[in-house]
Amino acid sequence: MGIRKTAAVLIVVLVALGISAVPAGAAKYSSLEDGGVIMQAFYWDVPGGGIWWDTIRSKIPEWYDAGISAIWIPPASKGMSGNSSMGYDPYDFFDLGEYYQKGTVETRFGSKQELVDMINTAHSYGIKVIADIVINHRAGGDLEWNPFVGDYTWTDFSKVASGKYTANYEDFHPNEVKCCDEGTFGGFPDIAHEKSWDQYWLWASDESYAAYLRSIGVDAWRFDYVKGYGAWVVKDWLSWWGGWAVGEYWDTNVDALLSWAYDSNAKVFDFPLYYKMDEAFDNNNIPALVSALQNGGTVVSRDPFKAVTFVANHDTDIIWNKYPAYAFILTYEGQPVIFYRDYEEWLNKDRLNNLIWIHEHLAGGSTKILYYDSDELIFEREGYGDKPGLITYINLGSDWTERWVNVGSKFAGYTIHEYTGNLGGWVDRYVQYDGWVKLTAPPYDPANGYYGYSIWSYAGVG
C-alpha cells in the first residue's frame, strides 16, 4: 500500500474513533496566511438531512495529507428556508443549528455541536476554518408596517429564537439615516450597517455574531456579496477581530476590485482571471490570457498578494478544461482555491494532489512568460525563500509538443526534473549554460490519461 497511503488510512480510522492523530497546529504545508491552498468545502445544494458538517469532518484527514491549509465552509446560520437553506438567506445569525425555528432545529448542514466538532477536528490537523459571512441582508422576517416605504415589509425580526440581534424596519434601508447603500440582493431586506445597533450585533462588540463565530473556533472570513455594502464594514470587522479575509466582489473591473481590497484590508477573488482562463483554456485563446496578465487585466498581475484564484465555485462553473486551469492557478502567483466537487467527484484526485505538492514545494517568486501561442503557454517562477521556482508548460493541443525555450540564468547549467509524471515516467533535462532547454508537454486528452501540462524544476526537490 505504501507508507503515505497507509498513514492516511490510519488517520481516517483514528478520527472515526474520535482520536486526534496529529498534534494541534501541525499544518502540513503553508499556512493560510502564507498563501496555502484552500478547499471550498461545499457546493450548491449539498445533500440535506444535517449530514454535511460530519461529511466535511470525515474528509479532513485526507485533505490534511494532501496539503490543504484551510477549508471554506458554507454560511452556518439558520436561514429563512430552514433545513433546505444554503445559508445565503440568513434569518437568525445566532442559530447555528440549536433552536427550533423555520421548521427545523438543525440547519441543512447539521447541528451546532456537529459544526463545533468539525472545526475542532480541522484544528487538530492544523487546518484553518473560513466562515462564509452573509451580512448584506436578512430574510424570513415577519410583516410589519414600514413608515419609510408606506407599506408592509418583511422586516420584523423580533421573534428570532436566539433572542439576539432582533431587528425591525429601522435596521434596513430606507430608514431615517439614509435611503440606501451600495446595493441590494434578491429583494431581501437590506441591512443598514451604519446603525450602531446592527454594528453591535454583527461585529462591534463581544456579543456580536463575529465574536460568536470566534468563540466556536472560526479563524478567517469570506465575505459574501461585498458590492452590497461599503468596504469600511469589512475593514472595521477586521479591526475588531483580525484574521485572514477575502471578499466576493463579482466584477471584471480590476480597478474596482483592488480599490475594494485596499479599502477593506482583505483579499479579493480574481474574477477577471477566472473569465480569461475560460477564454484561454476552453477556447484555445491563450493570447487573451497572456495579454491580461501582461497589461494588468487581472488582480493577480496587479497585486498577487491580494488575489485569490479559482477554477470553479458554488455559484459559477464555466471552465470545462479544468486540468490546465488548475495547473495554472497552482503554479502561478496568487492564493488558489480548489472546488469540492472537482476534488472529490469530477477530476483525478492524484493529479490535484500532485499540483498541491508542487504549489507548496516549488512555486514561489515572480513570474515571466517564456512562450505562448493559441494553445501553448510556458512560464517560469523565479523562486522565493525555500521554494526554488519552476517552469510550467501548458499544451491544449491534441499532439505531444516539444519546444526550445530560454529559461535564463536561474536554471542554466542545472539538470531539471519533470514533477508531474505526465510524460510517462522519470524525465530529466539538462539546461545549457546559455539558458536554453528543450521541454516536452503531453496533449490535452484526460479521457486517455493525458492532462496537457508538464512542470519542471531542479532535480531532487522534496
Bridge partners, residue 415, by sequence: 430
**For the segment 382-423, what is each residue's pLDDT rounded down to a tens digit?**
999 999 999 999 999 999 999 999 999 999 999 999 999 999
For cell 484526485, the residue is 349
Q: Is the pLDDT score of 304 beyond 50?
A: yes
pLDDT at 17 over 80: no
Q: Which of 17-26, 291-300, 333-342, 360-369 has the lowest mean pLDDT?
A: 17-26
Q: Which residues contact 221 (CB under 8 A, 6 or more apart)?
A: 130, 131, 133, 234, 237, 238, 243, 244, 245, 246, 266
Q: Which CATH architecture has domain 1-269?
A: Alpha-Beta Barrel (3.20)
pLDDT exceeds cutoff 70 at 156:
yes
What is the model's pLDDT at position 460?
87
Confidence bin at 7 (pLDDT 50/70/90): very low
At residue 26 the predicted structure's pLDDT band, cuts being 50, 70 and 90, is very low
**For 409-417, which contacts have Cβ atoms below 8 Å and span 24 or more sequence positions?**
409/435, 410/380, 410/382, 410/383, 411/435, 411/437, 411/458, 414/458, 414/459, 415/458, 415/459, 416/391, 416/456, 416/457, 416/458, 416/459, 417/456, 417/457, 417/458, 417/459, 417/460, 417/461
| Arithmetic mean of pLDDT, 322-336 | 98
Q: Is 315 exposed, middle or buried (0-12, 13-18, 19+ CB in 10 A)?
A: exposed
Q: Are 290 and 328 in contact (CB under 8 A)?
A: no
Whole-model pTM: value is 0.94
397, 444 contact by CB (below 8 A): yes
Average pLDDT along the chain = 94
At 24, the pLDDT band (50, 70, 90 cuts) reads very low
User: Residue 405: beta bridge partners?
Assistant: 437
For the segment 97-109, the average pLDDT, to the nearest whole number, is 98
pLDDT at position 27, please? 53
Q: List the chain domain ranges.
A: 1-269
pLDDT at 70 over 80: yes
Q: What confidence score (pLDDT) does residue 461 get?
A: 86
Categorize the per-residue pLDDT at 29 as very low, low, confident or very high, splitting at 50, 70 and 90: confident
- The vertex-57 CA angle with 113 and 42, nearest 5°, equals 100
Find out whether 41 and 71 touch, Cβ atoms under 8 Å.
yes
Angle of helix 52-66 relative to helix 112-124, nearest 10 degrees, comes to 10
Report the alpha-carbon distance of residue 336 to residue 29 in Å, rounded: 14
